[in-house]
């Protein structure tokens, strides 16, 4: 089974703190994603990466950065946390579509971040 | 970029009845349309998907239809059961050899009434 592991299930941080959310996948997937989930807004893409050291902005990248130094690990960084970044953060990975693979997303369990 | 709209945001149906969730997309380059189900407190999981070269796909009680001309696709659940209660997300993405930017709709909370 594909396993996507997020380092923290629950975090409480203060405004202005630097926050690291880490995600590790064990299936050698090329693509990794960070989504933010808020009620009524669905899953909004923050950043994604299709290769080591490669990253592309999603729909809501402001206030976030990412790092992908190794294929299996994709980190989301909040340089200076703000209260409007209180949310559920979901990491996902997927293989490249083609060669019999659909590009299905495999999600982690989520990290619920509260910024006070 | 791609924009996916999903309706309705909430849906309540009697157990045994059918449920239909509809999505529209904006990018004509999109050609892969997955549906994910998220049960309460759990991670989203793929339940069915369809590619643009197919108009309909079925898997037991679940079916998805696609109209590329109109840029809309729908999820149909027949003979609904309590375990179908969940949030359902549609998504759209172009089939690229490398990066696949997968954009989701805002979700539909489906409740099955006993």
Dist. CA B105–CA B95, nearest whole Å: 18
- Residues B1-32 pLDDT 10s: 788 999 999 999 999 999 999 999 998 888 88
Whether A109 contacts chain B with CB within 8 A: yes
- Residues B26-64 pLDDT 10s: 988 888 899 999 999 999 999 999 988 888 999 999 999
pLDDT value, residue A107: 96
HSE value, Cβ hemisphere, 13 Å, CA-based, for B16: 1
Neighbouring CB atoms inside 10 A of B6's CB total 21
For residue B61, what are the β-bridge partners? Answer: none
Chain B nearest-CA distance from A19, in A, is: 22
CA angle (A55 as vertex; A52, A60 as ends), nearest 5: 150
Contact assignment for A105 to B99 by CB distance below 8 Å: no
Residue B95 banded pLDDT, cuts 50, 70, 90: low
For residue B109, the chain A residues in CB contact (below 8 A) are none
Whether A105 contacts chain B with CB within 8 A: yes
Tell me what the pLDDT averaged over chain A comes to. 92
Whether A50 contacts chain B with CB within 8 A: yes
* B65 three-state secondary structure: strand
pLDDT value, residue B97: 45
- Residues A28-51 pLDDT 10s: 998 999 999 998 889 999 999 988
For residue A3, the chain B residues in CB contact (below 8 A) are none
The CA-to-CA distance between both ends of chain A, in Å, stands at: 37
Q: Is the pLDDT assigned to residue B96 strictly greater than 60? A: no
- Judging by beta carbons within 10 Å of its beta carbon (0-12, 13-18, 19+), is residue B72 exposed, middle or buried? middle
Tokens standing for residue B86: 């969940």
- Residues B57-89 pLDDT 10s: 999 999 999 999 999 999 999 999 999 999 999
For residue B32, the chain A residues in CB contact (below 8 A) are 97, 102-103
Chain centroid to CA A24: how far?
10
């Amino acid at each position: 089974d594909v396993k996507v592991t997020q380092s923290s299930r629950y975090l409480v941080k203060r405004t202005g703190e630097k926050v690291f959310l880490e995600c590790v996948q064990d299936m050698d997937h090329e693509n990794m994603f960070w989504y933010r989930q808020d009620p009524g807004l669905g899953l909004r893409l923050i950043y994604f990466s299709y290769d080591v050291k490669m990253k592309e902005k999603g729909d809501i990248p402001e206030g976030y950065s990412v790092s992908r130094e190794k294929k299996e690990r994709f980190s989301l960084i909040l340089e200076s946390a703000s209260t409007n970044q209180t949310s559920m953060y979901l990491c996902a990975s997927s293989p490249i579509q083609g060669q019999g693979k659909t590009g299905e997303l495999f999600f982690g369990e989520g990290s619920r971040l509260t910024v006070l | 970029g791609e924009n996916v709209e999903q309706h309705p945001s909430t849906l309540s149906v009697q157990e045994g009845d059918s449920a239909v969730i509809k999505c529209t997309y904006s990018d004509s380059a999109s050609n892969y349309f997955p549906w994910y189900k998220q049960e309460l407190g759990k991670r989203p999981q793929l339940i069915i998907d369809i590619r643009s070269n197919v108009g309909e796909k079925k898997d037991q009680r679940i079916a998805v239809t696609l109209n590329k001309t109109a840029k809309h696709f729908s999820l149909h659940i027949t003979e609904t059961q309590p375990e179908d209660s969940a949030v359902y997300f549609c998504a759209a993405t172009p089939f690229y050899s490398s990066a696949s930017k997968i954009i989701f709709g805002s979700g539909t909370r489906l409740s099955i009434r006993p």
